[in-house]
Amino acid sequence: MDFTSHVERIVTAAANLVNAVTPGDAHGRGFDQPAGEDLRLAISEALRLGGPEAPAVTDQDAAQLVIFAGWLRVVFDAVGGGDLDAAALTLNALLAETGARPQLDRHDGEPWHLHFHGSTDTLAQGWAAGCASGLAIFLGTEMHDRLGVCTAPRCDRVYVDISRNGTRRFCSTTCQNRVKAAAFRARQG
Ligand SMILES: [Zn+2]
């Protein structure tokens, strides 16, 4: 796995985590934070990234990740609103809070590659440190405008645009299709 693809994976996990646990609106309706087992499963799925194994999430991990996801949400909202200063300050605080540090790891037959660890080896701290590091790498480059908040009505889910042309405006094809359908109806009217 090369550096770029690892960073893309952890920023995707950051967006997934924000979307899984932060309350607001999703795809045209209200979204409440899940609780209990639903919360643990939602977080596990968010961090799975399509891989074969979903990580085991304890209640304590879930509680911590909800707090970290709130910070990550602030970063996406700030970038989406054009306030890069607020996004950078929040990320710096989160990097400090999680004790994020780079470390070369080698596992599963892969070559040595760079991971980001937290100050402890808990799942919550590790993922929060990784997500903060990935977002910081994006924010510190011309990729900063690739973080965004869905522009569809009644949706505040977030996304990372890793497409080549970088023209994404919606959290999902669900919202893209909602907006297209509304535009079509408007033309018919
Ligand atoms: Zn959306």
Looking at the predicted structure, is the pLDDT value of residue 1 above 50?
no
CA angle at residue 131 from 5 to 77, to 5 degrees? 110
Percent of the chain scored above 90 by pLDDT? 75
pLDDT-derived band of residue 89, with 50, 70 and 90 as boundaries? very high
Tokens of 92: 């710096």
What confidence score (pLDDT) does residue 62 get?
Answer: 97
Q: Where do the domains of the chain lie, and which CATH numbers do they carry?
A: 3-188 (1.10.3300.10)
Distance from Cα 71 to the centre of ligand 1, integer Å = 20
Looking at the predicted structure, is the pLDDT value of residue 36 above 80?
yes
Distance from Cα 20 to the centre of ligand 1, integer Å = 13
Distance from Cα 179 to the centre of ligand 1, integer Å = 10
pLDDT-derived band of residue 7, with 50, 70 and 90 as boundaries? confident
pLDDT-derived band of residue 18, with 50, 70 and 90 as boundaries? very high
pLDDT averaged over the chain? 93
Percent of the chain scored above 70 by pLDDT? 98
Residue whose tokens read 């304590």: 60
Rg (C-alpha) for the chain, rounded Å, is 17
Distance from Cα 34 to the centre of ligand 1, integer Å = 18
Q: Which residue has the higher pLDDT, 47 or 52?
A: 47
Question: In angstroms, rounded to a whole number, what is the distance separating the alpha carbons of residues 87 and 179?
Answer: 28
Distance from Cα 31 to the centre of ligand 1, integer Å = 11
Looking at the predicted structure, is the pLDDT value of residue 2 above 90?
no
In tens, the pLDDT along 116-141 reads: 999 888 999 999 999 999 999 999 99
Question: In angstroms, rounded to a whole number, what is the distance separating the alpha carbons of residues 27 and 6?
Answer: 28
Inter-residue contact 177 to 164 (CB < 8 Å): no
Looking at the predicted structure, is the pLDDT value of residue 179 above 90?
yes
- For the residues 172-180, what does the mean pLDDT come to? 95
Distance from Cα 150 to the centre of ligand 1, integer Å = 5
Looking at the predicted structure, is the pLDDT value of residue 173 above 60?
yes
Closest CA to 40 of 149, 124, 162: 124
* DSSP line for 79-143: HHTT-HHHHHHHHHHHHHHHT-EEEEE--TTPPPEEEEE-SS--HHHHHHHHHHHHHHHHHTSGG
What confidence score (pLDDT) does residue 98 get?
Answer: 96
Distance from Cα 85 to the centre of ligand 1, integer Å = 25
* SS3 state at 148: strand
Helix residue spans in 22-83 (DSSP H): 36-48, 59-80
Distance from Cα 105 to the centre of ligand 1, integer Å = 35
Distance from Cα 102 to the centre of ligand 1, integer Å = 33
Distance from Cα 171 to the centre of ligand 1, integer Å = 4
pTM, 2 dp: 0.93
Distance from Cα 111 to the centre of ligand 1, integer Å = 37
Distance from Cα 140 to the centre of ligand 1, integer Å = 25
